[in-house]
Structure formats: C-alpha cells, structure tokens
Structure 1
C-alpha cells in the first residue's frame, strides 16, 4: 500500500452517515473510493455539484462531469448541479460538515499552507479559504515528509498561510494528529510505524496520547 492510499483510506474513516463533505484536490478526492459500507455521505464539489461518488473508470467516465480541479467525477442518483455562487453560499453558510484539503505544510498551531510556493506560479487560493473557515470540521492531509525527507509537519509554517488556527486534525502516511496545548497530539500511527518513527520524522512538538493506536485502513 503506497503513501497516498494509506492517507486516502484513513481519511474515509472520518465521515459519519449523513455528512456533507467537501474533498480537496488529489489525495482527499481519492478517499471517495474507500467510504465504509453503510456510511452515506453527500459529497460536494465547489464548482457546483452535490452527491457524487468515487472517481469513474475509463468505461464510466463522462467528460462533461468534473470537479473544481478538472478531475472527472460520477454523479449519483439524486445528484444536483448549480451555479458556483450557490455552491459557495453552501460553504460560507456553514452547511459543510467536513472538508479535507491537501497541504504543502501544516504546523502545531493548526495553521495550513496549501496554495503557494514563493517564486512558483500559482493559479490562486481557489475555494480553500472559504472551506477552511466555513466547514464545521477541517482536516489537512499530506505526505509526512518531502522528497528530501524533510518534515512537512512543522513547529511553524514557512509558506504563506491559507488560514490560521483552523485545523481540527492532520492525516499523513505516518500518523494522525489532533492538537493539545499548542502542540501536536499523536493519536494514531500507520501500520508498521512506531511512535519513535513519527517523532523522528516530525519537526513539530509532539504530545503522545496515552491512547495512541494503529490506523484502521480497512474498507
């Protein structure tokens, strides 16, 4: 199981029956493949759709259906489509129960940077800032370290923030964190990963929960 699948499978465990969920580009969207049986959620695309499912196969792909990142999606029975202003009224009105966004960096204060690297052309923040303050629960997902092996879970973000102090949870390929006393609270480790492995790979300060457990990656 690769890092992206670990993260996507664990993300899917965050949803409760009846939730309205917005999934960000990349790994968050992959989690739609792993929704637990019996858990029915309404997935929202910020470009104007409610009730879509797992990414389509080559056989079921409809080029007219895509999310805000241009990736194909599958509309389910009972789905609706509408204007982008209506979609953002849903987000800003507090009607999204959970949003999961990818991140470039996160830190122990619950900050997230997910839209710009200085000197690199970026299309803009998109709907991230609305989701980060409009959703009832905000989760960041990212691979724990970069290509150089350096932590992306930090004491303090170095990149421009998307929003401050907004995260409820961080999910990586190594661990699940919540927050306590301005530090990272380690709640779970990935299968085969020890607490010591997580501490060694993390720049931020960690409090280890007395109830730390292994991630459930079942479907």
Structure 2
C-alpha cells in the first residue's frame, strides 16, 4: 500500500514531538527527512547526517536548492546557524561514541522485542546496509516511522522479523499511519491510535500481541 504525502507528513509531525530542546538527532531517508519541517521554531536542535553535517535545517524551497549541500540520502537541505561540516569518518565516530540523542529511521519490519529490519528485501539490489546498523545500536533512542502494513496489506510489526536484521532489540518507539507503539520489556504497548482507525483495526493489522495503554490517545 503506497503512502500519500499527507500521511507521510502526519507521521513525521508526530515523530517531531519526540524531539526536545538541545538534542542531537539523526534522520534516515524518506519520512524521517520531513521531521525538521514540523519542529517549533523555538527548539534548538542539531540534526546530524552521516555524510558530514551537524545542523541541518528545513528542506529548501523549490528553486532555492544548493547543489553542493545535501543529506546522506542525496536530497537537498539547508543549514541552521552554528552548523558544521566534517568528513564521513568523523560523522560515524560521533554515532559510535554515543553522542546522538535520537535517530529516526524508516523500517521494513519491527519485532515485538524491538528487532529492526530496514535495509534489504532479498532479491532486490541495494547499495548496502549503510549507517543504519551503527545508528540502531548506538543512538540513545531509536524511533521507527513506517506504514503499518506492507504493499500486500501484511503487518510490518511482527513477533519475529522475517527479513535480514539491521540490529536486535534496538527500537524504542514505532510510529505508523495507524498507531504509536512503544517497545517495553513486556512487549508492545499501544499508546495512540491515528484517526480514522480504531484500536480493533490496529490489533487486526499487527502481527504481534499488543498491550493497550490505560490512557490511550486518539490522534485526529
């Protein structure tokens, strides 16, 4: 099932609420790259990219792109005051040293124990796992943003991942077009449901047991 622009921005907007003032944050390609567009202007956040930028700003207006300035996915970006540039080795050193407060990544599958598969579908050509493994294991908090189901309508949140893993037991929070689910020691906790879906819809489309938060929220 393909995801429209409005849905992608809705997920990115919800993910942006997890970012606090003063954080250093890394964003994956796709939906995560939309997150800076949804941050309140008073927040002082430094976005990090593996190709060597700390201090990424909002996406540039069409026609205002700088051809020499892009994120790790190759998409044009802007910078904020205080931004810095460095080589890729330094960028990965920052990740591996545990300096990132949050990473927001896309996902292909997430298990009930927080295992993440997000880098390859067998039989399809990809350039490699990239920086996802380091980000998943070394960021203080890992947030996954994705469709709740794949293009065939099958759940992407499962008891056990079927695709090759990026990292084990690394995911803290899952935000989809249907729900917000926290990974806790006991399993998966359904905390929020995206309108027009219901709790029953989310349970039916999730391939792992869900505990339901007592104060579950409904997001319009």
Aligned ranges for residues 88-103 of structure 1 at < 5 Å?
A: 88-103=92-107
Look up the SS of the partner of 1:2 in the other structure: helix
d(CA) in 2 for partners of 1:37 and 1:195?
33
Aligned to 2:144: 140
Kept after mapping to 2: 8 A contact 1:45/1:67: yes
Offset at residue 40 of structure 1 (A): 1.9
Superposed CA offset, 1:127-157 (max 9, x none): 0111111111111111111122111111111
Aligned ranges for residues 76-95 of structure 1 at < 5 Å?
A: 76-95=80-99
Q: Mean Cα displacement is larger for which, 176-185 or 54-63? A: 176-185
| 1:128 correspondence with 2:132 | yes
d(CA) in 1 for partners of 2:94 and 2:211?
36
- Of 175, 178, 183, which aligns to 1:174? 178
| 1:116 correspondence with 2:120 | yes
Superposed CA offset, 1:34-76 (max 9, x none): 0124222100011100111111112321010011111111022
Aligned-pair Cα RMSD in Å: 1.3
Aligned to 1:187: 191
d(CA) in 1 for partners of 2:187 and 2:7?
24
d(CA) in 2 for partners of 1:165 and 1:173?
22
- Of 20, 28, 31, which aligns to 2:35? 31
- Normalization by structure 1: what TM-score? 0.95
Aligned to 2:156: 152
Look up the SS of the partner of 2:182 in the other structure: strand
d(CA) in 1 for partners of 2:67 and 2:27?
20
Offset at residue 182 of structure 1 (A): 4.0
| 1:201 correspondence with 2:213 | no
- Normalization by structure 2: what TM-score? 0.94
| Count of aligned pairs | 216
d(CA) in 2 for partners of 1:195 and 1:158?
25
Superposed CA offset, 1:80-122 (max 9, x none): 1000111111111111000001011111110110001111111
Unaligned residue ranges in structure 2 (runs of 5+) = none
- Of 42, 57, 62, which aligns to 1:58? 62
d(CA) in 2 for partners of 1:59 and 1:116?
33
d(CA) in 1 for partners of 2:47 and 2:196?
32
Offset at residue 21 of structure 1 (A): 0.3
d(CA) in 2 for partners of 1:161 and 1:19?
27
